[in-house]
Structure 1
Amino acid sequence: MNPLQELRDLDGPGTALTAEGLVRAGRARVRRRRQAVAGLAAVLVLVLTVGTAAVAGLQQPPHPADRGRPYPGPMSGLPPAPAACDVQMLPLPSGVEGTGPPVIDSTGHWAAGLMDDHTGVVIWRDGVVFGVDGDEQVQYLHAVNSSGTAVGSANVAGRAAAVTFTDRMNVLPLPAGMPVTTSLWGTGINGAGTVVGYTTASSNVSKPVLWRDGKAELLAVPGGGSGAANWISDDGWVGGLVGQVYDAYRPYVWRPDGTGFELPLPAGVGKGMVNAIAGEWAVDFDNHLRWRLTTPGTPLPQPFGVADGIYVRALAADGTVTLSGSKSASLWGFGDPVDLPLPAGFSKYQMGGISADGRVIGGVAQHLMDANTFGGEPFRWVC
């Protein structure tokens, strides 16, 4: 999730859990307070601009209608019934008490979760701990790719920095000419390792950024205005928004060649963004909208209804989204929702990422006594 998504989801479990004895726990609380002040200030800068949530070879046809890939059909690749999905708790390294909802890569083999005290990231491969990066001041964790590299944001030298994680944290460079005080947020990564995100240099200006081979470049925004990149698909499509903070920002998509186009909103909807792109679909989590990018002409928004208190979390390649309530989890394709089984003995749940075929989904569970804390016990559904 990116900063705006995090604020919207404060009623659910947060993004990560960790404590290694009383000494580390005390230090973590101090770090968290300091980080919260800096992080919240940065979040408020973008509170009305950026929402999130899939990952880049950049040589594709210039128009979505020309991509030539057949539409797989409604609910393709999804489990036929909830009984087909197993709940598997994810193991935690020694000293780590929990994480936030795990993000999932497109293949379903990799997962990553932010520790609850924001001091590091846990990475799993096929349900087994693969790596741990600790002793950092991590603010957000957004995505992981099919090589096991995760992306997010961390507090580095007093500013927000876009970072990747493997067995250690790597700080991504600022675009050329940007002041060193510029905040930088990493929001998406694809299978080729291409990363997207955005900068914030003032209270009303943000710029979408793409990193290829470790080098930062700005994505073009109509009229040279503000924008943000929230996600990148495995075939290089980038989703985000254009428009300034507090204005009527609009959903926007960049093609793999760097050109872009705005997606329409339904009548009466004044603001929107693309939180995720997967396969042929883009989604706006807050407005409950999907666009099929291979539709000839301008893709029209396709609304889907969800109950109050249910959050859209992630997008699979066939357009299916994950829906999360405090005591429910389901998949919503183009028919009735498919409910997922929940781990027993917990009082609150939150979904994380989903694989491209919809068969692996991340989640976190909390006990009643921990329901107001940040993070929980990570698990995954394997369908």
Structure 2
Amino acid sequence: MSRMKPRRFKARKAITATAVVAAVATTALTGPFASAAENDPEAAQTCALQILPIPEGLVSTKVTGMSRDGSVIAYQADPPSTGDPDAAVVRYPLLYADGKVTKVPMPGEWQEIADVNSKGVGAGNASVNDAPLPYVWRDGKLTRLLGGRGWAYGINETGDIVGKLWPAPGSDDPTVHPTVWRSGTTNPVKLPLPKTANGGSATAIANDGRIIGEITLNNDPGEAKPYIWYPDGTGKLLPMPEGVDLADADVHPMEINGDWVSGILFAPGIEAPGIRWNLAKGTAEMTKLGRDWETVAVGPDGTAVGVLYNTPIAAYQTGGTVFELPGVLDPDANINWDNAEAISADGSLIAGTAWAGNDWNAVTWTCK
């Protein structure tokens, strides 16, 4: 999950009135894509917004992950700012399930649970003595994943965790290795890289063991290319959308759900960076979602979630139709932006982050 930073941009003209009552809001068929939605009534939903609990003394909560069934949500809270730019960046990872909040104590700074499964097992990271280190949270206990400096990004229902490891200090091998930590062990297994690659990262893992991520090529180390690893150890590059040349693209897959993969793509001529792949068909297409490095996630039916490009509005896209999600603030009052970070397998729950005027709030949208 990406971290959201405050940025100002000109608020767009309001296109609909969004009702906000306390911490709950609902919406249906709003915005510039409403007419398209009327042609697809089965896709139309009414979604109610709810702010997740904010522990006393903390502020600015943000969603960082959600189990595929929507039963467990990972988010984090920050302490109030001290105004000291040199102060340690301490964050408080949280898990929300069955109406209860569980605090996940982690050492160091920049703490997060990046992903979680329905059993409440979380993959996370923290910076300890200026070194990024991966962790697993299981059965109320935090355990360091072995292998040295690195990150853990994704977890599946089995408990397999994926991420990347940096080379050890002083190592002759400069490669950043895409890595998997199999369920029940903290020992890393480095994923194979094609001969043309000089490094990579694994960002998400499906329940069947397929892993998606990115690699950098020897002749283009500054740009990431999308890649999939199969359980038998083979792998290949993911296809590009029509009109996009792989050599010109910087691509970052973020989520795999069934036969769908989502992420962001930066290339000449591309505006909204949200992309989704259909693995069964071997196709790729750009969406109307995405902004900077914000997450674009996907459900098993191909529904993508994120932020509607060039607006402050969280949204989901079914086929070519986009549906806006309500915010804590009216769109004209939102000087930053909201983002949908994850969607449950049945599409009934979306988790994300909404700007509330002074801080962000971790929220859910329950859709019917």
TM-score, normalized by the shorter chain, greater than 0.5: yes
By how many angstroms is 1:380 displaced?
A: 0.6
TM-score (norm 1): 0.69
Q: Does 1:95 align with 2:57?
A: yes
CA distance in 1, matches of 2:279, 2:194: 20
Determine whether 1:304 maps to 2:287.
yes
Q: Which one of 343, 351, 355 corresponds to residue 362 of structure 1? A: 351
CA distance in 2, matches of 1:108, 1:310: 23
Equivalent residue, structure 2, for 1:277? 256
Structure 1: how far apart are the matches of 2:288 and 2:48?
27
Note the C-alpha offset of 1:211: 0.5
Match of 1:335 among 307, 320, 324: 320
Paired with 1:313 and 1:113, the residues of 2 have a C-alpha distance of 17
Aligned residue number for residue 212 of structure 2: 239
% identity of equivalent residues: 25
Contact 2:198 2:221 in 1 (8 A): no
Q: 1:310 to 1:210 in 2, by over 3 A?
A: closer
Counterpart CA distance in 1 for 2:42 and 2:122 is 26
Match of 2:37 in 1: none
- Cα deviation for residue 327 of structure 1 reads 3.0
Shift of the 135–272 alpha-carbon distance from structure 1 to 2, 3 Å rule, reads closer
Does the alignment pair 1:105 with 2:78?
no
Conserved in 1, the CA contact under 8 Å of 2:192 and 2:233? yes
In the alignment, does 2:305 pair up with 1:322? yes
Unaligned segments of structure 1, at least 5 residues: 14-77, 175-181, 371-375
Partner of 2:104: 133
Within-5 A mapping of 1:113-192: 113-117=75-79, 118-126=90-98, 128-134=99-105, 136-139=107-110, 140-166=112-138, 167-174=140-147, 182-192=148-158
What are the Cα deviations for residues 71-122 of structure 1, in whole angstroms up to 9, with x where unaligned? xxxxxxx984342x22222123333334212421101111011222533211
One-letter amino acid matched to 2:303: T
The amino acid across from 1:210 in the alignment is V
- Following TM superposition, the consecutive aligned residue runs of length 4 or more in structure 1 with deviations greater than 6 angstroms are 307-310
**Count of residues in Structure 1 that have an aligned counterpart in Structure 2:** 297
Q: Shift of residue 236 of structure 1? A: 1.5
Pair 278,307 (structure 1): closer, same or farther in 2 beyond 3 Å: closer
**CA displacement, residues 147-184 of structure 1 (integer Å, 9 cap, x when unaligned):** 1122221123541111123534321111xxxxxxx421
Higher mean C-alpha displacement, 299-308 vs 311-320:
299-308
Q: From 205, 209, 218, give the equivalent of 2:179.
A: 209
1:293 aligns with 2:279: yes
Return closer, same or farther for 1:192/1:138 CA change in 2, 3 Å cut-off: farther
Does the C-alpha gap of structure 1 residues 119 and 249 become closer, same or farther in structure 2, counting only changes over 3 Å? closer
Alpha-carbon distance in 1 for matches of 2:109, 2:69: 25
Determine if contact 2:263/2:296 at 8 Å carries over to the other structure. Answer: no
Q: 2:205, 2:75 → 1: CA distance?
A: 19
- Aligned counterparts of 1:144 and 1:183: Cα–Cα separation in 2: 21
Query: Which of 200, 206, 210 is the matching residue for 1:227?
Result: 200
**CA, structure 1 residues 284+91, in 2 after alignment: closer, same or farther (shift >3 Å)?**
closer
Residues 7-41 of structure 1: CA deviation (Å, up to 9, x unaligned): xx53469xxxxxxxxxxxxxxxxxxxxxxxxxxxx
2:238: which partner in 1?
Answer: 263
Higher RCO, 1 vs 2 (CA within 8 Å, ≥6 residues apart): 1
Cα deviation, residue 362, structure 1: 1.2
Counterpart of 2:339 (choices 330, 333, 350) is 350
> Residues 168, 100 of structure 1: CA spacing in aligned structure 2 closer, same or farther, 3 A cutoff?
farther
Measured after TM superposition, the shift of residue 239 of structure 1 is 0.4
- Partners of 2:362 and 2:249 in 1: CA distance: 36
Report which stretch shifted further, 196-205 or 151-160: 196-205
Structure 1 distance, partners of 2:174, 2:252, is 16
CA distance in 2, matches of 1:11, 1:163: 28
User: Given residue 362 of structure 2, which amino acid in structure 1 is its aligned partner?
Assistant: P
Secondary structure of the residue that 1:106 maps to in structure 2? coil
Aligned residues of 1:279 and 1:356 also touching (Cα < 8 A): no
* SS state at 1:317 partner: coil
2: distance between equivalents of 1:79 and 1:229?
35
- Equivalents in 1 of 2:44, 2:108: separation in Å? 41
Return the structure number with greater strand share.
2
Query: Following the alignment from structure 2 to structure 1, what is the Cα–Cα distance between the partners of residues 115 and 54?
Result: 19
TM-score, structure 2 length as denominator?
0.72
Tell me, yes or no, if the aligned pair for 1:253 and 1:274 is still in contact at 8 Å: no
Contact 2:327 2:355 in 1 (8 A): no
> Which residue does 1:251 correspond to in 2?
226
CA contact (8 A) 2:254 2:295 kept: no
Q: Distance in 2 between matches of 1:123 and 1:101?
A: 10
**1 or 2, which has the higher helix percentage?**
1
Give the unaligned 5+ runs of structure 2.
Answer: 9-40, 80-89, 266-272
Shift of 1:138: 4.6
Paired residue secondary structure (1:249): strand
User: Aligned residue for 1:72?
Assistant: none
CA RMSD in angstroms comes to: 2.9
Question: Residues 264 and 293 of structure 2 are in contact (CA less than 8 Å); yes or no, is this contact kept in structure 1?
Answer: no
